[in-house]
Amino acid sequence: MSTILPGATLGVIGGGQLGRMFVHAAQRMGYFTAVLDPDADSPAGRVSHHHIHTDYTDVDGLARLAGLADAITTEFENVPAPSLEHLATARPVAPGADSVAIAQDRIREKGHFVRCGVDCAPYAVIETADHLAAVQPDLLPGILKTARLGYDGKGQRRVATQAELAAAWEDAGGVPCVLEKLLPLDFECSVIVARGADGHMVDFPVQRNLHRDGILAVTEVHAQNMPESTARRAVAAARSIAEGLSYVGVLCVEFFVLADGALVVNEMAPRPHNSGHWSMDASDVSQFELQVRTLAGLPLNPPRQHSVAVMLNLLGDLWFIDSDVQEEPRWADVLALPGTHLHLYGKTEARRGRKMGHLNITGDDIEAVRSTADFAAALLGLPIPLSE
């Protein structure tokens, strides 16, 4: 892959907030941008030089994108992999269709983790009634997850007995699923790596995450957020997963850390990730700049974290704290707090459960940053304390 210098046009499939932040990073570095998304009011499309309003499978739209862009990426994993494969016949595409296709299918994803020698929770593939009948009792209680189109806790259901498992599979429409054994969880973490076409790889510090209702709520990044040995193992596992894909781009790998200290991989996202948003204010290079660099074939310098960081995910529920009438959250009061950095995504309608933005809190000391984050959460109506 040859280097694509500023002044060229970089394309992205998907017009959501991750595409918007990629566009901002690319434009700051001097690139023009083109977004393909069917929503005429998409957050990324509204700030891009070009916005192609078509479906992700529209051949004419894909041809227009290839005609405008010198290289193309994606902002979410559920873009049809055949569309990326089609674009790759004309332009460099990163990540590639094969990597995205694996991330779209939990069955293939699990298989990839196993091939890379990375531990998963014990699991069983359920694609037929015979598979269902053959599930071993020691996998229960567990979580039944649809193999495709699952994110933010969607397509998942806890089951404790064989009867509950059978009912959950039937309710899911009998589609291919994965049953994962429930394990004694201590905490969750994630690793973001960036890998260039030349195989060079860099990573961010390991991120400690808290989820509520299946959606990321809080990320903490600092030297004391987990044992050093756990962080080293997580980074090594994420790098192995990226290397096994011959991956090009930014990749997030999520892990469970068990009560006994064991590390098991949960899933991967072939794109920047919510848990990496802290890097926009607490690192000398953000995950979105690394996405630009990997796509354009630019050098990858190891990111340097310069501030302790806590990230709060901001959902549309915050606009409806006291009633069903939409009210703007207390941004002025929040921004009066030291080290607060507000990022709103330009979405015109707030809805419960919808990702509307994030708040980064930075500083020199984790206790001070946590105190500020708790105060900000109280002002916004978020649950406190933030840690569990």
Question: Has residue 387 got a pLDDT over 80?
Answer: no
Q: What pLDDT band is residue 1 in, cutting at 50, 70 and 90?
A: low
**Portion of the chain with pLDDT greater than 90, in percent:** 92
pLDDT tens readout for residues 25-35: 999 999 999 99
User: Once rounded to an integer, what is the mean pLDDT over residues 279-306?
Assistant: 98
Cα–Cα separations (whole angstroms), residue 374 to 114, 312, 337, 352, 353: 39, 10, 11, 21, 21
Question: pTM (2 decimals)?
Answer: 0.95
In the DSSP assignment, the letter for residue 351 is: -
Q: How confident is the model at residue 325 (pLDDT cuts 50, 70, 90)?
A: confident
Query: Chain-wide mean pLDDT for the chain?
Result: 95
Inform me whether the pLDDT recorded for 2 exceeds 90.
no
Residue 213 has a pLDDT of 87
pLDDT in tens, 88-139: 999 999 999 999 999 999 999 999 999 999 999 999 999 999 999 999 999 9
Q: Which residues contact 154 (CB under 8 A, 6 or more apart)?
A: 214
Express as a percent the part of the chain with pLDDT over 70.
98
**Structural domains of the chain ordered from first start:** 9-93 (3.40.50.20), 122-181 (3.30.1490.20), 185-380 (3.30.470.20)
195-205: average pLDDT = 97
d(CA 204, CA 191): 7
Do 110 and 123 form a contact (C-beta atoms < 8 A)? yes
Distances (CA, A) of 359 to 58, 203, 244, 340, 377: 36, 22, 34, 7, 10
Q: Which residue has the tokens 């997580």?
A: 234
Note the pLDDT tens digit of each residue in 232-281.
Answer: 999 999 999 999 999 999 999 999 999 999 999 999 999 999 999 999 99
With 90 as the cut, is the pLDDT of residue 363 above it?
yes
Q: Return the pLDDT at 136.
A: 93
Is the predicted pLDDT of residue 150 greater than 90, yes or no? no
Give residue 388's pLDDT: 62
Q: Are the beta carbons of 364 and 307 closer than 8 angstroms?
A: yes
The pLDDT score that the predictor gives to residue 270 is 97
Indicate if the alpha-carbon torsion angle 264, 270, 276, 279 is positive or negative. positive
Q: Which residue has the tokens 């941008």?
A: 33
How far is it, in rounded angstroms, from Cα 227 to Cα 62? Answer: 46
Q: Summarize pLDDT for 235-248 with one digit per residue, the tens.
A: 999 999 999 999 99
Res 153 pLDDT > 70: no
| The predicted structure's pLDDT at residue 214 | 86
Whose structure tokens read 């070009």? 50
